[in-house]
Copies of this chain bind each other. A is one copy, B any other.
């Protein structure tokens, strides 16, 4: 991290070391527009100088551009609010080293000036309700062989509790697997429990998954997910707002959650306790105006209590299948989940004379039309008309002594 070797220039296009035939991700555009090295170095510096999300600094960058903003932060020609967000680290001159470190891992710094920047998804962070959780990031540290802007075009967050149950992990993996098969990118946070199951399900389908981290993109956190994160870096994408070497911290998870929500067209909370961090991602999803979905579970499970609370409050819709997730997040007119179209029949037809005649028939012996009439309460002449209809439908049998019931099928 304290290396002084000259900066390796950022790769001309993101590297794709392990292209997988079945990976549904977009091809990396051969001639995608990329920011200048000066801009990238400036954003790399700004990315480390302030703890995300630094509202005043971001506004300053938006106003004067990243290169001038970086220069003025260094020289101190800034407003007191920008200074308060940058003074502690403004001497941290590690932009070149950080870019070299991420490049060494096959990664890159993606900046808003790049075509790879997921412009539209992240723009939603600038709305008033969402800004409370932080706006558009200054830059994103990315590892993996996919073009970020393309793979988030159709993406769903699948998140949940670390304190998950076997049921929740099963559902997370199944849903992620199915979503991946439909060409949907599965976004999650690489945590133990639901997050890990979601990433694994998508990878298992040979699909696309993005792990958004609350630490540097080079840092394997949590430790038990080192292997999983290595696989995601090879087959999916690892994304972080934090420069290499930054360790996770509680506030960084909250800041990170807004990126999970923003990079996704909707969020599925698979399991969440009443105080789960997944409820934070859920709240941001709503602030972004994106669909919030929850998976119901046993009411006896504390791990589903947060999901049920969101459901009862009317803040989330229930999803029980991949088709329902696709329907809830899909484009208008496409992606409607099919279901048995028999709603109206639920009211039943308790007055149906044919049904009453059918029910009145004997199972083991024939009954006369007169007896069937009394038993069913249907007038004799109607019974006489209906019995042959039931016979034709294969529901009644004409015997010498009368009519007998036949079971359907």
Q: Residues on A close to B: CB < 8 A? A: 50-53, 55, 83-85, 87-89, 92, 132-134, 167, 170-171, 249-252, 254-255, 257-258, 274-275, 279-280, 282-284, 287, 295-300, 304-305, 308-309, 311-313, 317-321, 324, 339-340, 342-343, 346-352, 355-356, 359-360, 373-374, 376-380, 382-383
Whether B53 contacts A171 by the Cβ 8 Å rule is: no
Given A250-B355, A296-B304, A296-B308, list of 12 further CB < 8 A pairs?
A50-B377, A51-B377, A83-B379, A89-B377, A249-B356, A251-B349, A298-B298, A305-B320, A308-B320, A311-B318, A312-B320, A318-B318
A295, closest chain B residue (CB): B299
Whether B297 contacts A351 by the Cβ 8 Å rule is: no
Whether A317 contacts B324 by the Cβ 8 Å rule is: no
Whether B350 contacts A134 by the Cβ 8 Å rule is: yes
Contacts of A324 in B (CB 8 A): 312
* Smallest beta-carbon distance A78→chain B, Å: 13
Contacts of A380 in B (CB 8 A): 87-88
Whether B251 contacts A356 by the Cβ 8 Å rule is: yes
* Smallest beta-carbon distance A203→chain B, Å: 22
A-B contacts, 25 of them at CB < 8 A, read A51-B377, A84-B382, A87-B380, A88-B380, A88-B383, A134-B350, A134-B351, A249-B360, A250-B359, A251-B350, A251-B351, A251-B359, A252-B350, A252-B359, A258-B350, A275-B342, A283-B346, A283-B348, A295-B299, A296-B298, A296-B299, A308-B318, A308-B320, A312-B324, A318-B318
A277, closest chain B residue (CB): B348
A278, closest chain B residue (CB): B346
A346, closest chain B residue (CB): B283
**A258 vs B305: C-alpha distance in the bound complex, in angstroms?**
32
Whether B282 contacts A346 by the Cβ 8 Å rule is: yes
**A348 vs B53: C-alpha distance in the bound complex, in angstroms?**
13
Whether A133 contacts B350 in the complex (CB less than 8 A), given A378-B51, A379-B87, A382-B84, comes out as yes
* Smallest beta-carbon distance A51→chain B, Å: 3
Whether B296 contacts A167 by the Cβ 8 Å rule is: no
* Smallest beta-carbon distance A74→chain B, Å: 16
> Which of B167, B275, B350 touches A300 (beta carbons < 8 Å)?
B167
* Smallest beta-carbon distance A145→chain B, Å: 30
> Which of B287, B346, B350, B383 touches A279 (beta carbons < 8 Å)?
B346
* Smallest beta-carbon distance A338→chain B, Å: 12
Whether B295 contacts A297 by the Cβ 8 Å rule is: no
**A159 vs B275: C-alpha distance in the bound complex, in angstroms?**
31
**A374 vs B340: C-alpha distance in the bound complex, in angstroms?**
60
Whether B299 contacts A320 by the Cβ 8 Å rule is: yes
Contacts of A340 in B (CB 8 A): 274-275
Whether A347 contacts B133 by the Cβ 8 Å rule is: yes
A317, closest chain B residue (CB): B312
Whether B347 contacts A132 by the Cβ 8 Å rule is: yes
Whether B374 contacts A92 by the Cβ 8 Å rule is: yes
Contacts of A318 in B (CB 8 A): 296, 308, 311-312, 318
Contacts of A51 in B (CB 8 A): 356, 376-378
> Which of B85, B249, B254, B311 touches A349 (beta carbons < 8 Å)?
B254
Whether B297 contacts A298 by the Cβ 8 Å rule is: yes
Contacts of A348 in B (CB 8 A): 133, 254, 257, 280, 283
A88, closest chain B residue (CB): B373
**A146 vs B346: C-alpha distance in the bound complex, in angstroms?**
32
Whether A377 contacts B167 by the Cβ 8 Å rule is: no
A348, closest chain B residue (CB): B254
* Smallest beta-carbon distance A361→chain B, Å: 10
**A176 vs B160: C-alpha distance in the bound complex, in angstroms?**
31
Residue of A251, A297, A324, A376 contacting most chain B CB atoms (<10 Å): A251
A132, closest chain B residue (CB): B347
